[in-house]
């Protein structure tokens, strides 16, 4: 079990990043990567497979399981009273019939009343559905909010528009509103593999039931252009853990949730249906327009107490966002967690790689500014005494968990997300340590390393929030363009011939997908009380692939860790990483 203790006497110092030295690694053994010497993992944000890649289409005559394969049983969404939705409630301001858009108001085509759990009635009026008619199906988002729509929030107020910004009052990029994506909510939405409660379990209602025209995405255009590298699309790849970004970043590197002693201020309390939504009008948490309970419950950051609602995780674990103790950190929306002590026992894939002399780095967008790396390749905040980059607050970061180190040089970008940098939660990578200076780097260091042939054996790349495709505060097309830039950086570099790029997403972002995850009414692949959750997009891209193809192997985020463990003979962390499938079969699809 993961243990925590206060980090005593860890000095926090400014890190002056020198030029990246030539990486030295243990020679790869015969493993799932074959003769690839480098793997680059690009970790994007918050989309299900059907939402983003559902219209990908066949690849060289090989079928990709997408929206066309969704049967009625796993598509039709049901209300809390189990009534099928014939009319879809919309909360994004650009999808509602009551507000004026540049093209004019949407015309009401349906109404429906459904009964909530507390006996009250929710009235739906919408342009998405027909009366009378069959159950409403998913819809194409970019028909209503195209890439040209001015619906994106300003950098200095990214989270101030819960229901989006009415076109044309925002910035360009076709942003939608954000959607809830939390641990217990997703399990309710999955409904044991029926995939039919995404709308009811969402604060955004039917925003969760939309999809993009895959063929218009920049990543799709890039991979289908003349001279593009070959690729393998993995159409049975699932997020490792239920819920959101924090937990899935922890699973990416540690395969387990951090232990965290739950208290009244953090502990989740569930109703009988396993949902953390309180009765209307009681002040309980959660703006869910189509869900209500007769009991007052609480949507916390940690698991429910034991014993709890049966079949759902309980105990002392952080499953929704908590913040790191040291800089870069923040205040307000989540508790801070004391550093996880991995100084004696390896507790993440970075520890295993370092102990085996396998070179690696986690390249994060905005890291140098947020972590106070003055003079680093990503540093843009001058010489103080305040933060000078207008894309972040001049006052800089608030104090850390010890009440120290506020302000300059800790100068995060407005869209910097502390919980997207999982190694910062571990004591071995605390400020002032050699491991932090060596392995936790800025995205600008990745571009430099790729162009100069200095990529380590293993690279994790995490774009800054404004470029990571996250609904609400990032533009999908702009984020996809940035993804192409990252891939091209490798393809244009001298290590392209022996580098495998893996592109995937941390989690579903609250978006429906029709494919039932392992463990949800089936035993198709490894699973436990933490996941896996909804199916997410995944691509393998390599200059040395001789063909493009499709892999149907059941995989999840931990398959990346398993691949690294096997390729460099690292052993495992003793969690689900020991039992998941590796990427070996997917890699073989691109080989002769």
Three-class secondary structure assignment of 453-486 = CCCCCEEEEECCHHHCCCCCCCCHHHHHHHHHHH
Provide, for the chain, the percentages of residues in helix, strand and coil under a 3-state DSSP scheme, each rounded to the nearest 5: 20, 15, 60
The pLDDT score that the predictor gives to residue 26 is 44
Which tens digit of pLDDT belongs to each residue from 112-169?
999 999 899 999 999 999 888 899 999 999 999 999 999 999 999 999 999 999 999 9
> What percent of the chain clears pLDDT 90, i.e. is strictly above it?
86
Q: What is the pLDDT of residue 132?
A: 81
Collect all residues with Cβ–Cβ distance below 8 Å to 231 and sequence separation of at least 6: 223, 539, 540, 541, 542, 545, 548, 590
- Give SS3 for 273: coil
Mean pLDDT of 508-529: 98
Strand partners, 551: 234
Cα–Cα distance for residue pair 20/456, rounded to 1 Å = 10
Position 305 confidence tier, pLDDT thresholds 50, 70, 90: very high
Question: What pLDDT, on the 0 to 100 scale, is given for residue 293?
Answer: 84
CA distance 176 to 180: 13
CA distance 544 to 563: 18
Q: Among all chains, which residue has been given the structure tokens 């379990």?
A: 201
pLDDT of res. 294: 77
Q: What integer is the mean pLDDT of 20-48? A: 77
Confidence of residue 6 (pLDDT cuts 50, 70, 90): very low
Q: Is the pLDDT of residue 497 over 70?
A: yes
pLDDT for 452 equals 98
Top pLDDT among 430 and 263 is at 430
Distance of CA 588 to CAs 5, 31, 294, Å? 44, 12, 53
Q: Which band of pLDDT confidence, cut at 50, 70 and 90, is reported for residue 24?
A: very low
Angle at 312 between CA 306 and CA 318, to 5 degrees: 70
pLDDT score, position 284: 58
Give the span between the Cα atoms of 114 and 96, in whole angstroms.
Answer: 18
pLDDT digits (tens, 9 = 90+) for 566-589: 999 999 999 999 999 999 999 999
What letter does residue 439 receive in the DSSP assignment? H
Q: Which structural domains are found in the chain, ordered by start?
A: 1-74+213-255+348-527+539-552+565-592 (3.40.720)
Distance between first and last Cα of the chain: 43
Give the pLDDT confidence of 168-222 residue by residue, as tens digits: 999 999 999 999 999 999 999 999 999 999 999 999 999 999 999 999 999 999 9
Higher pLDDT, 24 or 321: 321
Q: Mean pLDDT throughout 507-519? A: 99
For 200, the enclosing helix (H) or strand (E) is none
**DSSP-assigned letter for residue 406:** -
d(CA 505, CA 238) in angstroms, rounded, equals 9
Predicted TM-score of the model (pTM): 0.94
* Confidence bin at 13 (pLDDT 50/70/90): very low
Question: Which residues, 6+ apart, have CB-to-CB distance to 166 below 8 Å?
Answer: 93, 94, 99, 100, 101, 151
pLDDT at position 27 over 70: no
């Amino acid at each position: 079990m993961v243990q925590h203790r206060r980090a005593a006497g860890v000095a926090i110092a400014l890190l002056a990043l020198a030029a990246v030295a030539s990486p030295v690694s243990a020679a790869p053994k015969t493993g799932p990567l074959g003769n690839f010497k480098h793997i680059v993992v690009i970790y994007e944000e918050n989309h299900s497979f059907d939402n983003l890649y559902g219209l990908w289409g066949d690849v060289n005559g090989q079928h990709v399981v997408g929206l066309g394969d969704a049967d009625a049983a796993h598509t039709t969404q049901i209300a809390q009273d189990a009534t099928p939705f014939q009319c879809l409630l919309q909360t994004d301001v650009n999808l509602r019939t009551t507000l004026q858009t540049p093209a004019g108001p949407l015309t009401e085509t349906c109404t429906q009343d459904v009964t909530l759990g507390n006996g009250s009635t929710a009235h739906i009026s919408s342009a998405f559905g027909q009366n009378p008619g069959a159950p409403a199906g998913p819809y194409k988002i970019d028909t209503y909010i195209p890439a040209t729509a001015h619906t994106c929030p300003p950098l200095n107020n990214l989270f101030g528009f819960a229901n989006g910004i009415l076109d044309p009052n925002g910035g360009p990029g076709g942003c939608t509103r954000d959607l809830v994506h939390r641990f217990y909510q997703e399990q309710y939405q999955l409904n044991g593999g029926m995939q039919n409660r995404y709308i009811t379990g969402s604060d955004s209602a039917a925003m969760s039931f939309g999809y993009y025209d895959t063929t218009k995405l920049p990543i799709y255009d890039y991979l289908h252009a003349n001279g593009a590298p070959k690729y393998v699309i993995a159409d049975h790849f699932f997020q490792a853990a239920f819920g959101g970004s924090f937990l899935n970043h922890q699973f990416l590197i540690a395969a387990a949730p951090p232990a965290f002693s739950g208290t009244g201020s953090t502990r989740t309390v569930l109703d009988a249906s396993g949902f953390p939504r309180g009765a209307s009008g009681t002040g309980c948490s959660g703006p869910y327009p189509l869900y209500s309970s007769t009991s007052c419950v609480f949507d916390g950051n940690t698991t429910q107490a034991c014993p709890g609602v049966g079949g759902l995780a309980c105990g002392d674990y952080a499953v929704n966002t908590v913040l790191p103790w040291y800089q870069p950190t923040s205040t307000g929306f989540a508790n801070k967690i004391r550093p996880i002590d991995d100084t004696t026992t390896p507790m993440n894939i970075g520890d295993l790689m370092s102990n085996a002399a396998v070179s690696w780095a986690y390249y994060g967008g905005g890291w140098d500014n947020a972590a106070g790396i003055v003079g680093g390749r990503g540093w843009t905040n001058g010489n103080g005494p305040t933060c000078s980059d207008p894309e972040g607050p001049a006052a800089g970061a608030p104090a850390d968990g010890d009440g120290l180190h506020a302000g300059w040089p800790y100068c995060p970008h407005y869209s910097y997300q502390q919980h997207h940098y999982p190694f910062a939660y571990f004591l071995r990578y605390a400020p002032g340590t050699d491991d932090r200076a060596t392995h936790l780097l800025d995205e600008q260091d990745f571009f430099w390393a790729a162009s100069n042939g200095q990529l380590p054996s293993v690279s994790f790349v995490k774009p800054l929030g404004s470029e990571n495709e996250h609904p609400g505060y990032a533009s999908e097309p702009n984020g996809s363009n940035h993804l192409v830039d990252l891939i091209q950086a490798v393809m244009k570099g001298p290590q392209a011939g022996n580098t495998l790029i893996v592109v995937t997403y941390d989690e579903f972002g609250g978006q429906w997908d029709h494919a039932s995850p392992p463990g949800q009414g089936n035993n198709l692949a490894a699973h436990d009380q933490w996941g896996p959750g909804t199916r997410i997009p995944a691509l393998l891209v390599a200059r040395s692939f001789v063909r493009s193809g499709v892999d149907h192997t059941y995989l999840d985020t931990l398959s990346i860790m398993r691949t690294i463990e096997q390729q460099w003979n690292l052993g495992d962390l003793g969690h689900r990483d020991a039992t998941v499938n590796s990427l070996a079969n997917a890699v073989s699809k691109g080989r002769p």
